[in-house]
Amino acid sequence: MLRKITVTLFYLGVAFIIYLVHEPLLAWIGSTDRSYAPLTAIVATLMSLFPVIPYPIVGGVIGAAYGPALGGLLIWIGSSLASVIMFAIVRYGYQDWGKKILHKYKYLEKLTVLFERNAFVTITLLRMIPVIPSIIINVYAALSRVRFLSYTAASSLGKIPSMILFALIGHTIVTDPGELLVMAIVYATFLIVMYGMYRVWKKRAEQRFRLEHGEDPRSS
C-alpha cells in the first residue's frame, strides 16, 4: 500500500511540474542543437507520459528542431518508452485502476476477440490506426497475458508511421509548407490501406471466435 501511495504521489508531482514548465520546455526544444538529443528524448518521454499538450505538437517542434530523421527517432523513443512505462505501472502495481478504465470501455469484447486471435499483430495494427484509444491498448495489454517484450516490440513497431509523420510535418512547416498537402494525401492513403487490413483481420478474428465459442462477439 505504501508503495502505491509513493508511486501515485511521484506521478502526480511529475505531472504538476510538467504542467508548470511545458511551455518553456517546448521553447527549449526548439532552440537546442543535436548535442542535446538524449535529453530531448527524455523530455519527449515525459511529455508523452503526461500529455499536458497534444503529443503531435511536441513531435512537430522536435521535428522542426532536429529534422525528420533524428526528430522522428527522438519522438518515437519518447512515445514508445511512455507506453512501456504505462504498461509496467498497470501490470505491476495498478491493476485495479486498469480494470476501472476498461470497465468504462463499451467495446471490450471486440478487443478481447482481436487479442485472442494474435495479440502482437493486434497491438501493431491498433497503434497504426486510431480506432481504439491508446490508453485502452496500454491497459488491456497490461492486464492480459501478453509478455512484456512482445508488447514492447509490437507497440514500438506500430508507432513508427505516426511518429515519422509528426516529425515530417514539423520539419516541412519550416522548410517547404507547400509539401504538406502531398504528405496529407500519402498518409491518408496509408491509413486507408491499414484500416482495410484491420477490417479483414477483425472479420477473420470474429469468425474464429464464433467457431471456438459458439457466439457472435458483435452481439456482446
24 band by pLDDT with thresholds 50, 70 and 90: low
Collapsed DSSP state (helix, strand, coil) of residue 145: coil
Q: What is the mean pLDDT of the chain?
A: 80
CB atoms within 10 A of CB 76: 22
Segment 123-149, tens digit of pLDDT: 998 898 877 888 888 999 999 888 999
Segment 64-116, tens digit of pLDDT: 888 889 999 999 999 999 999 999 999 988 888 888 888 887 777 777 878 87
Q: Which three cell numbers stand for residue 12?
A: 502526480
Q: Which three cell numbers stand for residue 37?
A: 538529443
Looking at residue 147, what is its pLDDT? 92
Segment 26-46, tens digit of pLDDT: 666 666 667 788 888 998 998
- For residue 126, give the nearest of 46, 216, 205 by alpha carbon: 205
Residue with cell 470501455: 105
Segment 188-207, tens digit of pLDDT: 888 898 888 888 888 887 78
As a whole number of angstroms, the distance between CA 153 and CA 138 comes to 13
As a whole number of angstroms, the distance between CA 211 and CA 220 comes to 16
